[in-house]
Structure 1
Amino acid sequence: MRIILAGFGVVGQSLAKLFIKREEELSIVYGFRPRIIAVADRGGVALNPKGLDLRRLLSVKAERGTVAADKVYGRPELSVLEVIEDIDAEVFVEVSPTNVKDGEPALSYLKSAFKAGKNVVTSNKGPLALALPALTELAEHNGVHFRFSGAVGAGTPILEFAKKCLYGDRILSVKGILNGTTNYILTEMAEKHISFEDALMNAKKLGYAEADPSMDVDGIDAACKLVILANWVLGKKVTLKDVNVNGIRGVTLDDIEDAAREACTIKLIASANGKLEVKPEKVPKDSPLSVSGTLNAVTFYSEFAGEQTVIGRGAGGIETASAILRDLLDIKREL
């Protein structure tokens, strides 16, 4: 399988390392022999139609800051769109940084890949939150596969569980914790009896929160993931503008302690039950959704199986890379 990879940050490099580590197993057990023929980052492109040496590429990235600095295969003058349109490959993997304002440049990359007849795997929430219904239609129109398991729950198979393990049932609604950073902050506030500001500072020190934590603490990240769930699992045609979003900046230590007196904890809950909402809610401490730290937890309410909850880590480079690998294997089975 020939692959074009756009994005060579934490997730892209984790995917390369995963391919290196599991090369023999993937070939013997799954008959899967991925060949990354092009990698793009902010500095340009590395290109070899016969397949790039991933160990070499990781070394060049670490030493020079861009894959385009490779003396043999570096092509700093090439754009991602040119590679998508002109280079033959079965799959385009898109893992560039998330942009929820207009989804670019990833949105243009995905559209171009579909029109070029390439199957697509992405973990990028931006274009999915803003245009998933349109992207799904475009993929179907061009007869290609479109997978994005890593966009929700990273390595935790939330989307696959809903689609495959509850196959034949009818999922009525979804509710859960979709952002590990806010869950960590709220857990810190409850367990250490500290303010939101102090808990946020701890999250930043540990690398759980960005220097600008707005995407997380204002509920935007959770809302993006909720949109993906609502489209993929509930069959709704919705985008980010359809979600009522309220983050955790207003949650005080008094709120946390008041909830504790009722044997509850406060969590940032994303729900799709008629309407789409992200807001802080009281959750009973014995609820499956009462998870601590950076964990994610999602409960599916189905007509016949009842309540089913999936719990796992919702972020991380290698975790997201594992979801991308699952999607690639899924596409391989379909080809």
Structure 2
Amino acid sequence: MEKLTVALLGGGVVGSEVARTLLADAETLAERVGTRLELTAVAVRDASRERPGIPAELLTDDPETAIRGADIVIELMGGIEPARSLILAALEGGSSVVTANKALLAQSFPELLEAADASGVRLEFEAAVAGAIPIVRPLQASLAGDRVTRVMGIVNGTTNYILDQMAREGWGFAHALRTAQELGYAEADPTADVAGLDAAAKAAIIASLAFQVPVSMDDVHVEGITGVSADMIATAEAQGFTIKLLAICERLEGENPGVSARVYPALVSREHPLAAVSGAFNAVFVEAESAGSLMFYGQGAGGAPTSSAVLGDLVSVARRKVLGGRGQAPAQIRGTGRVLPIADVDTRYQITLEVSDRPGVLLAVAEALAAEGVSVELASQTQFENPQADEPRAKLVIATHTARESALAATVENLAALDAVASVRSVLRIEGS
């Protein structure tokens, strides 16, 4: 095979990095693949704008023509359309596709896999989940003979940086976010990160791979970090926890079997490996029946880490083409298991209340929990200064035993209705302990 042609869709930070590497490291890549990789086109919105390191003759604003006849198409445009239509056209035309488009995969994963399968080509997407961290291949291949029971991870570097700085420096959310934007960790519009949407898209992909059940973005329960306060961080630390935005994918057994995918800020014991993940780093913790616990850690975002994962997929796809085969079969996301709502999940709560500091309060609180079948594991009470209150106040922190989410949510409502409870200051789930 004299060469393989590569068309690139997208010339942003990651796309430009991939293009420059393809051109600058052509000889090294050829040695790894077994033939030359020829970049034939880079499709961008504005082909007249100069892009350092990329020859002007490669730039085009016609993506349909760019992908026609290419052996491999790399999609780094992002968004749903026209990325979806272009990827389907490439797959149906016999091109293998490498993508980092988590939003599209979270919405159309089974459809894209079926299109690749029908054409006998590959769809690779390692960069869509955790940047340079290899998690897709382990779930698809290394653990294919095992039974994954749970995947829990920090899959968004922006939110991890914000929460880490709030804990380390005592910053408020707004200041931590502003600093993240100044450092380039957060976009000008940080909604996808801080609202948990980016992590939810990744959770949908991870759950689909881990459990072979189609999980879409709409199936993922999502809560962001905008409500996390400095007081919540301090309370967590006093109880031996740190707060992390977690993506949790779980296989549930028992009377109501199914799978769960959810994203929310949670308390993680300082003894758990995920508690030590700082800054903008990511980590994914996998639990499997035979392999036990595995942890994958590293850079989860940015041009260089993401381009590393894209190029790894490219080399894998190209090498298989040179060898005359498709390599491992595409992931089969055709299971029939149910995706359960969060109300059917078992978890633990830490509930922080502002209460009247007078006799009988603890009894009323205990009765409110018992009414929903929720039991207390730990409780601590400290005096609380509230100049607006007309009576002494206390801060009561309650950690529950494991219970059904629906019962825990009802308990919080019952507590909020008590005369002795001035406010429910925070509710956080406890994970990884």
- TM-score past 0.5 threshold: yes
2:65 to 82, 89, 99: 82
| Maintained 8 Å contact 2:102/2:201 | yes
The aligned residue for residue 61 of structure 1 is 51
- Gaps spanning 5+ residues in structure 2: where? 251-258, 322-433
Q: How far apart, CA to CA, are the structure 1 residues paired with 2:58 and 2:142? A: 43
The residue identity in structure 1 corresponding to 2:268 is: V
Change (3 A) 1:74 1:269: closer
| Maintained 8 Å contact 1:159/1:233 | no
2:109 to 132, 138, 160: 132
CA offsets 1:139-191 (integer angstroms, 9 cap, x no match): 11222110000111111111123233324211122111110000000000000
CA shift for structure 1 position 333: 3.0
**Is 1:117 aligned with 2:94?**
yes
The aligned residue for residue 326 of structure 1 is 312
1:194 to 171, 176, 192: 171
**Is 1:305 aligned with 2:291?**
yes
The aligned residue for residue 217 of structure 1 is 194
**Is 1:40 aligned with 2:17?**
no
**Is 1:18 aligned with 2:3?**
no
The aligned residue for residue 92 of structure 1 is 73
Q: How far apart, CA to CA, are the structure 2 residues paired with 1:310 and 1:14? A: 24
The aligned residue for residue 51 of structure 1 is none
**Is 1:176 aligned with 2:138?**
no
| Maintained 8 Å contact 2:149/2:288 | yes
CA shift for structure 1 position 255: 0.8
The aligned residue for residue 270 of structure 2 is 285
TM-score by length of 1: 0.87
Change (3 A) 1:135 1:324: same
The residue identity in structure 1 corresponding to 2:271 is: D
- Gaps spanning 5+ residues in structure 1: where? 46-58
Change (3 A) 1:145 1:29: closer
Percent of counterpart pairs with the same letter? 39
CA offsets 1:239-262 (integer angstroms, 9 cap, x no match): 100101000001111111111012
Q: How far apart, CA to CA, are the structure 2 residues paired with 1:14 and 1:81? A: 22
CA offsets 1:293-316 (integer angstroms, 9 cap, x no match): 111111111011111111111001
Name which one, 1 or 2, has greater alpha-carbon Rg.
2
| Maintained 8 Å contact 1:5/1:40 | yes
SS at match of 1:61: coil
The aligned residue for residue 241 of structure 1 is 218
| Maintained 8 Å contact 1:121/1:324 | yes
The residue identity in structure 1 corresponding to 2:75 is: E
| Maintained 8 Å contact 1:129/1:240 | yes
The residue identity in structure 2 corresponding to 1:15 is: V
The aligned residue for residue 6 of structure 2 is 3
SS at match of 2:215: coil
Q: How far apart, CA to CA, are the structure 1 residues paired with 2:179 and 2:58? A: 42
CA shift for structure 1 position 232: 2.1
| Maintained 8 Å contact 1:133/1:231 | no
Larger mean Cα displacement after TM superposition, 291-300 or 13-22:
13-22
Say which structure is richer in strand: 2
TM-score by length of 2: 0.68
Change (3 A) 1:118 1:255: same
Larger mean Cα displacement after TM superposition, 321-330 or 178-187:
321-330
Change (3 A) 1:156 1:75: closer
Where in structure 1 do 4 or more consecutive aligned residues deviate above 6 Å? Answer: none
Change (3 A) 1:262 1:21: farther
Change (3 A) 1:312 1:73: closer
The residue identity in structure 2 corresponding to 1:61 is: R
The aligned residue for residue 382 of structure 2 is none
SS at match of 2:293: strand
Q: How far apart, CA to CA, are the structure 2 residues paired with 1:204 and 1:36? A: 33
SS at match of 2:268: strand
Aligned residue-pair number = 309
Q: Report the aligned-residue RMSD.
A: 1.9
CA shift for structure 1 position 130: 1.0
